[in-house]
C-alpha cells in the first residue's frame, strides 16, 4: 500500500517541477518579449531627453537697422526645427542695442510661467500679460511673481549682421 | 429565423443572457435622481468619443497643418463647426458631471465599505478627465494653444530633480515646435482615452460587484462586518431591477444633458480659433479653458515664496488625499445630516473654486495693455503740470495697472481718489522705490517727471461732496 502511494508522489513531484519550469519559462519569455519590444520604443519615446539641440548662430538683422538704446522684437528659426514644424519653427527674442557694437538679447518667455512678455518702450519695462510680472530694461525683475531675470541669448556682430546664438 | 439567429448567438457567445442579467440586476428602490450623475458622465464621454472620432477624420496632427485643418473644419466643412462645438461643450459637460458625481458620492458617504475601489477609480477618472480637457485645448493649435503648452512645460519644469525632463517630454524638445503637437495628440487621442476606457470598465465592474449604494439614512451606520448581509437583505426585500425601474431616470437626465449640449453647440458654436500658432507672435495672452481658470487664478494669487512648493506639491497632495479618503474612514455614518464636516468640505471646495474662478475671469492682476487714453475732462486740465503728469501716467505704463475714473488696469489700486489718501511725499516714495507688485521708477523718470505725475495724482479727489 505504501509502495503504491509512493509512486504517484514521485510523479507529482516531477509534474510540479515541470510546472514550475513552465511558469518560470512563461515569465522569462514575457520579460524577453517586453524588453525586445519595449527598450527600443522607450528609447524612441524618450529621445528628446538625450538629444541636445545644436547651437547655431542665427542672423536677426543688419546692424544699421537697430538704434542705440532701443529694444525691438526679432524673429529667427530654432536651431534644428523638424521639417513639419511650419510656423512653430519660428521663435522670437527682445533685442536691445546697448552701444555701437554691443547687443543684448532677452528671451520673450516670462520666468514665472513662460507667457510672452511685452516691451513698453516709453516705460522702459517688460510686462507679462498672464500674472503681471514686470522686468526692467536690463531684464531684471522689477515687480510681480517672476522668480528670475529674463534669460539672455549670447549675441555677436558678424559682417554687419547681428546674430543670436540659438540652442532651442 | 430571427429566433434561430438569436438562439445561435446566445449559444455561441452567452452575451444576450449576460447583458440581460446585468441590466436586470437589483438596485435599491430609493436610488433616484441623486444617482444620475455617474451615467451622465459616461454619456458625456460617449459624446466625446463620437465627436472626437469625427474630428479626427479631418484633423491633421501636424504642427504645420493642424491650424489650417481646424480652419477648414470650422469654416467650410458641413457640420464641422458643430462637431468642434459639440466636442467642446461635451468636454465641459463631462468635467461638470464628474465633479457633481464625486461631490454626491462624497456627501452621501458612498465611498465607504465596500466601495473604496469605486472611489479610487473615480478619482483617477477625474484626473484623466481634467487631463483630457487640458490636452484638448492644446490640440486647438492656435497662438493661445502654443503658449498654453509653454506654460504647462514651465510649470512642470519647477518640479525638483526631474523638472527639466518633464518639460522636455511635454514639448518634445527644449521648446515648443514640430514635436509638441504630435505628443499632445497621442496623449489626448490614444493614451488617456485607453486609460479612461479601462478605468470606466473597472468602475462599472465594481458597481456591479458591490451594487449601487443605498440612499443614506441618519443613524444607519456602515459596519464592515455586517454591511454586505444587510445590503443583500435590503435588496431582496425591496430591490428593483436596474432595467427599466432605475435606468429611466438616467436616460431622462442624459437626454436632457445631450440636448443641452447640442443646443449650446448650435447656438454658440465652437471656441474661436486665435492667431496662427507662431511662437514668434508675442502679442499673446494665454488663458486656460473655463474649467481650469480657477487654477490659473490660484497661480496668480499665490505668495511668491511658496510657488515652487505649491505648484508641484498641492496637486500631488490633493490627489493623494482624495485617494486615501476611504482608507482613512470607511465605516460609520453615511448621511450628510450626520456628517456636517463633509457638507462643510464640499461647500468650502465649491466656494473656493468659485471664488478663484471669478477672480480668474476678471484677471485683475493682468496689466491692461490697451487702456483708453485719459480725456481732458478726466484729467481736469489741458496744459500745465497736471496735464503733463497725466500724459506721463499713460506712457510710462502706470495706466496699464491703475484705474483712473474707470479706465486703465486693475493690477494696482484704483487711483481715482488717491489725492485724498496719500501725501506728495508718500507718492514720491512709492514712485521712486516701487512696491512688491510695482516697479521702481527712480531710474526711468526724471525728478521733473515725477513731480508732474505727483501733481496729476494729487489732483485726483473724490467727486462726492
**Which range has the worst mean pLDDT, B122-131, B187-196, B279-288, B419-428?**
B279-288
Q: To the nearest whole angstrom, how far is the Cα of A114 from the nearest Cα of chain B?
A: 5
pLDDT of the residue at B465? 44
Report how far residue A17's alpha carbon sits from residue B451's, in angstroms, rounded to the nearest whole number: 95
Q: C-alpha angle with apex B300: B341 to A105, nearest 5 degrees?
A: 155
- CATH fold for the domain made of B376-458: Cytochrome Bc1 Complex; Chain D, domain 2 (1.10.760)
Domain extents for chain B? 22-362, 376-458
A55 touches B at CB < 8 Å: no
Pick the closest to residue B157 from B372, B377, B43, B308 (CA basis): B308
Is a pLDDT exceeding 50 seen at residue A1?
A: no
Interval B376-393 mean pLDDT? 93
Phi first, then psi: give them for residue B235, nearest 5 degrees: -65, -45
pLDDT band at A12 (very low <50, low <70, confident <90, very high): low
Q: Quote the DSSP letter at residue A117.
A: P
Contacting A residues, span 61-90, partner chain B, CB-CB under 8 Å: 73, 75-76, 78, 81-90
CB A38 within 8 A of CB B247: no
Report how far residue B111's alpha carbon sits from residue B220's, in angstroms, rounded to the nearest whole number: 15
Pick the closest to residue B189 from B44, B61, B326 (CA basis): B61
CB B377 within 8 A of CB B370: no
Interval B357-372 mean pLDDT? 91
Report CB contact under 8 Å: A134, B444: no
Report how far residue B413's alpha carbon sits from residue B394's, in angstroms, rounded to the nearest whole number: 15
Write down the number of H helices and E strands in chain A: 2, 11
DSSP secondary structure of A60-72:
EEEGGGS-TT-EE
Q: Which residues of A touch B435 (CB under 8 A)?
A: 143
* Cell numbers placing B353: 473654486
Coil, helix or strand for B203? Answer: helix
Phi first, then psi: give them for residue B60, nearest 5 degrees: -105, 115
Question: What percentage of chain B reaches a pLDDT higher than 90?
Answer: 85
pLDDT of the residue at B81? 97
pLDDT of the residue at B309? 82
User: What are all long-range contacts of B288-291, with beta carbons under 8 Å and residues at least 24 apart?
Assistant: B288/B134, B288/B137, B288/B148, B289/B91, B289/B92, B289/B133, B289/B134, B289/B137, B290/B92, B290/B357, B291/B92, B291/B95, B291/B96, B291/B130, B291/B133
Q: Which residues of B touch A134 (CB under 8 A)?
A: 438-439
Task: Give the pLDDT confidence of B58-80 residue by residue, as tens digits.
Answer: 999 999 999 999 999 999 999 99
The burial class, CB within 10 Å (0-12 / 13-18 / 19+), for B268 is exposed
Mean pLDDT across chain B:
94
Interval B3-15 mean pLDDT? 94
In the numeric block, the cell 439567429 is attached to B5
pLDDT of the residue at B284? 87
Sign for the pseudo-dihedral over CA of A77, A81, A83, A89 = negative
Report how far residue A23's alpha carbon sits from residue B241's, in angstroms, rounded to the nearest whole number: 44
Report how far residue A133's alpha carbon sits from residue A6's, in angstroms, rounded to the nearest whole number: 84
pLDDT of the residue at B285? 86
- Residues B54-74 as b/e (b if ≥16 CB within 10 A, e otherwise) read bbeeebbbbbbbbbebbeebb
* Cell numbers placing B187: 496623449
pLDDT of the residue at A13? 61
Phi first, then psi: give them for residue B407, nearest 5 degrees: -110, 145
> Domain B22-362 is in which class?
mainly alpha
The number of CA neighbours under 13 Å toward the Cβ of B10 is 11
Q: Which one of B367, B388, B436, B450 would you mutate to disrupt binding with A, by most A Cβ within 10 Å of its Cβ? A: B367
Domain extents for chain A? 2-48, 56-166
Coil, helix or strand for B81? Answer: helix
Is a pLDDT exceeding 80 seen at residue B26?
A: yes
Report how far residue A92's alpha carbon sits from residue B143's, in angstroms, rounded to the nearest whole number: 14
The DSSP bridge partners found for residue A71 are A96
pLDDT of the residue at A5? 52
The DSSP bridge partners found for residue B247 are none
Q: To the nearest whole angstrom, how far is the Cα of B461 from the nearest Cα of chain A?
A: 25
Report how far residue B388's alpha carbon sits from residue B381's, in angstroms, rounded to the nearest whole number: 9
Q: To the nearest whole angstrom, how far is the Cα of A63 from the nearest Cα of chain B?
A: 20
β-strands A155-158, A134-136 pairing: unpaired
Report CB contact under 8 Å: B64, A145: no
Complex-level ipTM: 0.86
Distances (CA, A) of B116 to B37, B42, B112, B332, B461: 19, 20, 6, 14, 62
Pick the closest to residue A154 from A104, A110, A107 (CA basis): A104
CB pairs < 8 Å spanning A and B: 164
Report how far residue B42's alpha carbon sits from residue B33's, in angstroms, rounded to the nearest whole number: 16
The domain A56-166: what is its CATH number? 2.102.10.10
CB B349 within 8 A of CB B342: no
CB A135 within 8 A of CB A141: yes
Interval B98-118 mean pLDDT? 97
Report CB contact under 8 Å: A124, B444: yes
A35 touches B at CB < 8 Å: no
Phi first, then psi: give them for residue B173, nearest 5 degrees: 165, -170
pLDDT band at B436 (very low <50, low <70, confident <90, very high): confident
Amino acid at each position: 500500500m505504501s509502495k503504491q502511494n509512493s509512486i504517484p508522489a514521485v510523479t507529482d513531484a516531477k509534474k510540479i517541477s515541470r510546472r514550475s519550469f513552465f511558469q518560470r519559462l512563461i515569465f522569462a519569455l514575457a520579460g524577453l518579449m517586453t524588453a525586445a519590444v519595449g527598450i527600443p520604443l522607450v528609447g524612441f519615446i524618450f529621445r528628446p531627453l538625450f538629444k541636445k539641440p545644436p547651437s547655431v548662430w542665427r542672423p536677426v538683422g543688419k546692424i544699421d537697422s537697430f538704434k542705440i538704446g532701443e529694444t525691438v522684437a526679432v524673429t529667427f528659426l530654432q536651431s534644428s526645427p523638424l521639417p513639419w514644424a511650419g510656423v512653430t519653427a519660428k521663435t522670437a527674442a527682445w533685442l536691445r542695442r546697448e552701444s555701437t557694437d554691443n547687443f543684448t538679447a532677452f528671451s520673450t518667455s516670462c520666468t514665472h510661467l513662460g507667457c510672452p512678455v511685452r516691451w513698453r518702450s516709453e516705460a522702459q519695462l517688460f510686462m507679462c500679460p498672464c500674472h503681471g510680472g514686470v522686468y526692467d530694461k536690463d531684464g531684471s525683475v522689477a515687480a510681480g511673481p517672476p522668480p528670475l531675470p529674463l534669460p539672455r541669448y549670447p549675441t555677436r556682430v558678424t559682417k554687419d549682421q547681428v546674430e543670436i546664438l540659438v540652442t532651442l | 429565423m430571427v429566433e434561430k439567429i438569436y438562439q445561435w448567438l446566445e449559444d455561441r457567445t452567452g452575451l444576450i443572457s449576460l447583458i440581460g442579467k446585468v441590466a436586470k440586476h437589483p438596485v435599491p428602490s430609493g436610488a433616484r435622481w441623486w444617482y444620475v450623475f455617474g451615467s451622465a458622465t459616461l454619456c458625456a464621454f460617449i459624446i466625446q468619443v463620437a465627436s472626437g472620432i469625427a474630428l479626427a477624420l479631418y484633423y491633421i496632427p501636424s504642427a504645420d497643418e493642424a491650424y489650417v485643418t481646424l480652419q477648414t473644419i470650422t469654416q467650410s466643412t458641413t457640420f464641422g463647426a458643430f462637431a468642434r462645438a459639440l466636442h467642446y461643450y461635451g468636454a465641459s459637460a463631462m468635467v461638470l458631471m464628474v465633479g457633481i458625481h464625486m461631490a454626491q458620492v462624497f456627501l452621501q458617504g458612498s465611498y465607504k465599505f465596500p466601495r473604496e475601489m469605486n472611489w479610487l477609480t473615480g478619482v483617477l477618472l477625474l484626473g484623466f478627465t481634467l487631463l483630457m480637457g487640458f490636452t484638448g485645448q492644446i490640440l486647438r493649435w492656435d497662438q493661445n494653444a502654443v503658449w498654453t503648452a509653454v506654460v504647462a512645460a514651465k510649470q512642470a519644469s519647477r518640479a525638483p530633480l526631474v523638472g527639466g525632463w518633464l518639460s522636455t517630454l511635454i514639448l518634445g524638445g527644449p521648446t515648443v515646435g514640430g514635436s509638441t503637437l504630435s505628443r499632445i495628440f497621442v496623449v489626448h487621442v490614444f493614451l488617456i482615452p485607453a486609460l479612461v476606457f479601462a478605468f470606466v470598465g473597472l468602475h462599472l465592474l465594481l458597481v456591479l460587484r458591490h451594487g449601487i449604494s443605498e440612499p443614506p439614512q441618519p443613524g444607519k451606520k456602515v459596519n464592515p462586518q455586517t454591511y454586505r448581509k444587510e445590503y443583500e437583505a435590503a435588496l431582496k426585500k425591496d430591490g428593483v431591477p436596474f432595467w427599466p425601474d432605475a435606468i429611466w431616470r438616467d436616460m431622462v437626465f442624459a437626454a436632457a444633458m445631450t440636448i443641452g449640449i447640442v443646443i449650446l453647440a448650435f447656438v454658440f458654436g465652437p471656441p474661436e480659433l486665435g492667431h496662427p500658432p507662431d511662437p514668434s507672435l508675442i502679442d499673446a495672452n494665454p488663458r486656460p479653458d473655463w474649467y481650469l481658470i480657477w487654477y490659473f487664478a490660484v497661480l496668480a494669487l499665490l505668495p511668491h515664496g511658496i510657488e515652487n512648493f505649491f505648484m508641484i506639491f498641492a496637486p500631488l497632495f490633493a490627489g493623494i488625499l482624495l485617494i486615501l479618503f476611504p482608507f482613512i474612514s470607511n465605516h460609520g455614518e453615511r448621511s450628510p445630516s450626520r456628517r456636517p464636516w463633509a457638507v462643510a468640505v464640499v461647500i468650502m471646495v465649491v466656494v473656493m473654486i468659485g471664488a478663484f474662478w471669478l477672480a480668474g475671469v476678471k484677471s485683475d492682476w493682468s496689466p491692461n495693455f490697451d487702456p483708453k487714453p485719459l480725456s481732458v475732462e478726466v484729467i481736469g486740465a489741458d496744459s500745465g503740470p497736471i496735464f503733463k503728469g497725466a500724459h506721463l501716467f499713460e506712457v510710462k505704463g502706470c495706466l496699464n495697472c491703475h484705474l483712473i475714473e474707470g479706465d486703465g488696469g486693475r493690477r494696482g489700486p484704483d487711483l481715482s481718489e488717491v489725492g485724498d489718501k496719500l501725501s506728495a511725499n508718500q507718492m514720491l516714495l512709492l514712485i521712486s522705490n516701487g512696491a512688491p507688485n510695482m516697479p521702481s521708477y527712480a531710474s526711468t523718470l526724471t525728478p521733473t517727471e515725477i513731480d508732474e505725475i505727483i501733481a496729476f495724482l494729487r489732483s485726483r479727489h473724490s467727486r462726492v461732496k
